[in-house]
C-alpha cells in the first residue's frame, strides 16, 4: 500500500513553489497549475523510492520542469518555441511595457524553452550549474552555454528599451 | 536604471492567483499511471517491432527520398567510427585502476570530488561545504598510500578550478561571475602559501577562455563577439528541443599574462574562436560555440602559419577544442534529425587531414589527458543514453577505440591529469538515462585510470 498521506502532505507543502517556477517557465498561471499537476503525478509514481532516498523536492522540481518542456515539445517542428500567455505583455517592443518585471517576462517569452528553464532554475530557484544540469538532464556545459545565450538575449532586449541595464547580482557562480 | 534578474523573477512570481491544483486529481492520475506502467512493459515489444518495420519501408528511399536525405543523420567526410566499433577495454591489459572514490550524495551535499592529478601524480581533492559559506578545502592525496595532505585554507566563497597542477605550484581560476576581472589563486607548494593575482591591464570580459602556453604564460581569450540566435528565436528540432545547430559562433581576442607579474600583460593581436597549444604550435579556430570553417596553426619557433578548412559539417557547432602533438580534436553538435542527434568528435592532423570522426547520438568527447604537463593522447567519449551508455577511449597514439565503462555520471566532475591518465566518472545510485521515469544520480564514482599504450 502506498503511503498516500505523506505524499499529500508533501504535495501540499511543495505545490506553491513549484507553481511559481512553472509560471516563470510558461508565462501562464493556469498552465502552470496543469504542469504542476502533471509533475506531481510523476512524483506519485516514483514516490516509494523517492521517500526512501530523501529526494522528494529535487525530483518534484525535475518532474515539473520536465512537464513544462514536454508541453513545448508537443508543438509542430516548424513552430518557434515561444509560449506567450495572457499574463505576459506582447513580446518585442519592451519600450511599451510598464514595468521591468513585465519586461522580463516578455523577454523570457522570446527565449527557447530550454534557455528559459536555465534562467529560471539558476536565478529563481538559485540552483548551481550542476543541479540545473541534473534537473534538465543535460551536461553542465549545456547549462552554461544555454544560460549565457539566454542572458545575452535578455540583456540586449533591455538595452534596447528605456528600462536600463539588466544585471545578475553576485554573478553566475561558474 | 539597473534591473537585477533574481529580484525581477521573484517579483514576477510573487502575486500568484489562488492555486486550484486539485490534489485528488493528482492522486487519481497517479494511481492510474501506476497501473498503466505495468502494462507498458508488455506493449513495448510490439512498439519495437513496429518501429523496425517502419524503418525498413523508409530507408530505401520511400516516396520522398529528399525528405529522407534531409532528415536523417548525415555521414561526415572521411573515416567514421561509431560506438559499436569499439572493443572492450580489459583491466590489466588495456588499463589499470590507480584510485577510486565514491561521493554518495552529490545531489544533496557537495562533499568531496577528485578535481585533477598533479604532474607528480598526487590527486587533487576538493571538498565543498554544504552550507551558505560554500567553503572549499583542498587536499593532495598520495594514491600509493591513500594519505590526504590538506592544504592551507583559502578565503571563503572562492570556488577554485584548476588550470595547471605542476610540481612547484598549483594554479586555479576563481569563479566570481560575469564581467569581473580574471583572478587566479596560486599555491606555492614549497612554502605552502596561497597568493591571488589579477592583471589590471587585462580587459574585463563576460567570459574568459584560458590555456597555459609552453612558455609558462597564461593565455587568455577575452570575449570579442557573441553569436546571436536568429530573429524570433531558435526553431524546434524533431526532438522538441530548441535547435541551435549551425549557429553563429563566438570570438575572443587573445591576450597573455605572466603568472608571477601582474604588470606583465600582452595583447597577442589575434582574434580566435577556441585555442590550444601543442609543444611546438599555437592552434586556433576562427569561431567557437557555433559553426567554424577555419583552423590556423602557428609554429611557435619560426612563426610560420598555415590554415585549412576542417571540413566539419555545415551545421556543426564547435563545442570542444584541443590540440596535442600533431593532432587536433574537435567536439561538435551537428543537429538533430528524425533518427537522432548528430554528435561528433573529429580528429584531424595539424595539416588538415581528418584521421577519423567518432559519430553518435548523444555523445560528447574531447582530449582527456595531458591537461597537466601536456602530451595527452587519450580522447574520452561519453555516451549518455541507451544500451551504448558509457565512457569510451580513443587512443591517438595507437588508433585503438575501446569501451571502458557502461555508465556515465550525470555530474561533470574531474580536472586536468598527466598524459596517459584520466579521471572517469560513473553513476552512483539511481537515475540511468534509459529509465522510463529517470531521476538524477545520487552521486558519482570517480576512478583514476592509467592507460596502457
Averaged pLDDT, A157-173 = 73
**pLDDT tops 50 at residue A127:** yes
Rounded to a whole number, what is the distance in Å from the CA of B6 to chain A's nearest CA? 5
Please tell me whether residues A47 and A106 are part of one structural domain.
no
B 40-99 near A (Cβ less than 8 A): none
Distance from CA of A78 to the nearest CA of B (A): 7
Cβ pair B412, B446 in contact under 8 A: no
Which pLDDT score, from 0 to 100, does residue B392 have? Answer: 98
pLDDT at res. B159:
74
pLDDT band at A86 (very low <50, low <70, confident <90, very high): very low
Q: Would you say residue B68 has pLDDT above 50?
A: no
Cβ distance of B37 and A58 shorter than 8 Å: no
In this structure, the answer to whether residues A49 and A109 fall within a common structural domain is no
Q: Is B411 on the interface with A (CB under 8 A)?
A: yes
Same domain, A66 and A116: no
Query: Do strands B136-142 and B2-4 pair parallel, antiparallel, or not at all (unpaired)?
Result: unpaired
Which positions in chain B touch A113 (Cβ < 8 Å)?
242
> In whole numbers, what is the pLDDT of chain A averaged over residues?
76
In a shared domain, residues A64 and A115: no
Distance of alpha carbon A18 from alpha carbon A111, whole angstroms: 21
Examine residue A170 and state whether it is found in any structural domain, yes or no. no
CATH number reported for the structural domain that contains residue A104 in this entry? 1.10.10.10
The secondary structure of B343-397, three-state, reads EEEEEEECCCCEEEEEEECCEEEEECCCCCCCCCCEEEEEECCHHHCEEEEEECC
| Judgement on whether residues A63 and A118 belong to the same structural domain of the protein | no
Proportion of chain B above pLDDT 90, given as a percent: 53
pLDDT of residue B49 exceeding 90, the answer is no
Q: Are residues A111 and A144 in the same domain?
A: yes
pLDDT at A73 (0 to 100): 57
Domains contained in chain A, number: 2
A90 in a structural domain: no
In a domain, A23, yes or no: yes
Q: Is residue A168 part of a domain?
A: no
What is residue B59's predicted lDDT score, i.e. its pLDDT?
29
pLDDT of residue B46: 29
The answer to whether residues A50 and A104 belong to one domain is no
Q: Which three cell numbers stand for residue B145?
A: 598510500
Average pLDDT over residues B206-212: 83
Q: Which of B425, B351, B419, B412 lies closest to B379, judged by CA?
A: B419
In the predicted structure, residue B180 carries a pLDDT above the cut 80? no
Q: Using the predicted structure, report yes or no on whether residue A171 has a pLDDT greater than 70.
A: no
Residues 6+ apart with CB under 8 A from A132: A118, A121, A122, A143, A147
Cell of B64: 520522398
Same domain, A20 and A65: yes
CA–CA min distance A104, chain B (Å): 7
Q: Provide the strand spans (E) within B78-217.
A: 80-81, 87-88, 95-103, 111-117, 123-128, 136-142, 147-150, 160-165, 169-174, 183-188, 193-198, 208-212
Mean pLDDT of B324-345: 93
In A110-139, alpha helices (H): 113-123, 129-136
The confidence band for A51, taking pLDDT boundaries of 50, 70 and 90, is low
Give the whole-angstrom CA distance, residue B69 versus residue B56. 15
Checking if the pLDDT of B51 tops 60, the result is no
**Domain hosting residue A30, numbered range:** 4-75
B375, B419 in Cβ contact below 8 A?
A: yes
pLDDT value at B187 more than 90: yes
Q: What mean pLDDT, rounded, does chain B reach?
A: 83
Tell me if A62 is assigned to some domain: yes
Give per-residue pLDDT as tens, B236-253. 777 665 677 888 888 999
Instruction: Say which of B20, B236, B439 has its CB closest to residue A33.
Output: B20
Residue A165 is assigned to a structural domain of this protein: no
- Domain membership of residue A172 (yes or no) is no
> Do A65 and A9 share a domain, yes or no?
yes
Of A44, A75, A106, which one is at a domain's C-terminal end? A75
What pLDDT score was predicted for residue B431? 54
* The pLDDT of residue B18 is above 60: yes
**Is residue A151 assigned to a domain?**
yes
Amino acid at each position: 500500500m502506498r503511503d498516500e498521506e505523506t505524499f499529500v502532505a508533501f504535495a501540499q507543502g511543495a505545490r506553491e513553489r513549484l507553481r511559481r517556477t512553472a509560471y516563470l517557465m510558461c508565462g501562464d498561471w493556469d498552465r502552470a497549475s496543469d504542469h504542476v499537476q502533471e509533475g506531481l503525478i510523476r512524483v506519485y509514481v516514483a514516490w516509494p523510492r523517492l521517500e526512501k532516498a530523501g529526494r522528494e523536492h529535487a525530483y518534484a522540481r525535475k518532474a515539473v520542469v520536465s512537464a513544462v518542456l514536454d508541453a513545448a515539445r508537443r508543438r509542430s517542428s516548424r513552430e518557434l518555441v515561444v509560449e506567450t500567455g495572457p499574463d505576459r505583455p506582447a513580446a518585442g517592443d519592451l519600450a511599451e511595457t510598464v514595468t521591468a518585471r513585465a519586461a522580463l517576462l516578455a523577454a523570457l517569452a522570446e527565449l527557447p524553452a530550454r534557455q528559459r528553464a536555465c534562467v529560471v532554475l539558476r536565478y529563481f530557484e538559485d540552483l548551481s550549474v550542476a543541479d540545473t544540469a541534473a534537473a534538465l538532464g543535460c551536461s553542465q556545459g549545456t547549462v552554461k552555454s544555454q544560460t549565457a545565450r539566454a542572458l545575452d538575449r535578455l540583456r540586449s532586449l533591455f538595452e534596447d528599451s528605456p528600462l536600463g541595464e539588466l544585471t545578475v547580482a553576485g554573478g553566475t557562480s561558474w | 536604471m539597473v534591473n537585477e534578474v533574481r529580484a525581477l523573477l521573484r517579483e514576477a512570481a510573487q502575486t500568484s492567483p489562488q492555486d486550484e491544483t486539485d490534489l485528488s486529481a493528482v492522486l487519481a492520475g497517479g494511481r492510474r499511471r501506476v497501473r498503466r506502467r505495468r502494462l507498458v512493459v508488455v506493449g513495448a515489444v510490439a512498439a519495437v517491432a513496429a518501429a523496425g518495420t517502419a524503418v525498413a519501408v523508409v530507408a530505401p528511399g520511400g516516396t520522398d527520398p529528399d525528405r529522407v536525405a534531409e532528415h536523417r543523420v548525415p555521414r561526415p567526410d572521411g573515416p567514421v567510427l561509431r560506438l559499436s566499433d569499439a572493443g572492450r577495454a580489459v583491466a590489466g591489459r588495456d588499463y589499470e585502476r590507480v584510485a577510486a572514490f565514491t561521493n554518495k550524495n552529490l545531489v544533496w551535499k557537495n562533499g568531496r570530488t577528485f578535481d585533477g592529478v598533479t604532474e607528480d601524480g598526487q590527486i587533487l581533492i576538493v571538498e565543498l561545504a554544504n552550507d551558505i559559506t560554500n567553503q572549499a578545502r583542498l587536499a593532495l592525496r598520495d594514491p600509493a598510500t591513500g594519505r590526504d595532505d590538506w592544504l592551507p585554507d583559502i578565503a571563503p566563497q572562492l570556488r577554485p578550478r584548476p588550470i595547471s597542477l605542476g610540481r612547484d605550484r598549483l594554479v586555479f581560476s576563481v569563479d566570481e561571475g560575469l564581467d569581473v576581472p580574471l583572478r587566479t589563486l596560486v599555491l606555492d607548494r614549497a612554502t605552502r602559501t596561497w597568493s591571488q593575482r589579477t592583471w589590471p591591464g587585462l580587459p574585463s570580459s563576460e567570459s574568459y577562455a584560458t590555456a597555459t602556453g609552453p612558455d609558462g604564460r597564461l593565455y587568455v581569450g577575452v570575449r570579442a563577439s557573441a553569436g546571436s540566435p536568429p530573429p524570433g528565436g531558435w526553431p524546434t528540432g524533431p526532438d522538441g528541443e530548441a535547435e541551435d545547430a549551425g549557429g553563429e559562433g563566438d570570438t575572443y581576442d587573445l591576450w597573455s599574462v605572466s603568472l608571477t607579474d601582474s604588470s606583465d600583460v600582452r595583447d597577442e593581436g589575434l582574434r580566435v574562436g577556441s585555442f590550444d597549444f601543442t609543444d611546438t604550435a599555437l592552434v586556433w579556430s576562427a569561431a567557437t560555440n557555433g559553426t567554424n570553417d577555419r583552423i590556423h596553426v602557428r609554429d611557435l619557433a619560426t612563426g610560420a602559419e598555415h590554415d585549412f578548412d576542417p571540413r566539419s559539417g555545415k551545421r556543426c557547432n564547435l563545442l570542444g577544442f584541443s590540440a596535442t602533438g600533431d593532432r587536433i580534436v574537435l567536439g561538435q553538435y551537428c543537429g538533430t534529425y528524425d533518427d537522432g542527434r548528430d554528435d561528433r568528435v573529429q580528429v584531424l592532423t595539424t595539416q588538415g587531414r581528418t584521421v577519423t570522426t567518432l559519430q553518435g547520438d548523444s555523445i560528447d568527447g574531447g582530449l582527456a589527458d595531458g591537461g597537466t604537463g601536456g602530451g595527452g593522447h587519450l580522447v574520452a567519449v561519453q555516451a549518455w543514453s541507451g544500451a551504448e551508455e558509457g565512457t569510451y577511449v580513443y587512443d591517438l597514439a595507437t588508433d585503438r577505440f575501446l569501451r571502458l565503462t557502461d555508465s556515465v555520471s550525470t555530474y561533470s566532475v574531474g580536472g586536468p591529469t598527466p598524459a596517459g591518465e584520466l579521471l572517469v566518472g560513473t553513476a552512483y545510485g539511481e537515475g540511468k538515462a534509459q529509465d522510463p521515469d529517470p531521476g538524477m544520480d545520487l552521486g558519482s564514482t570517480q576512478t583514476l585510470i592509467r592507460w596502457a599504450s
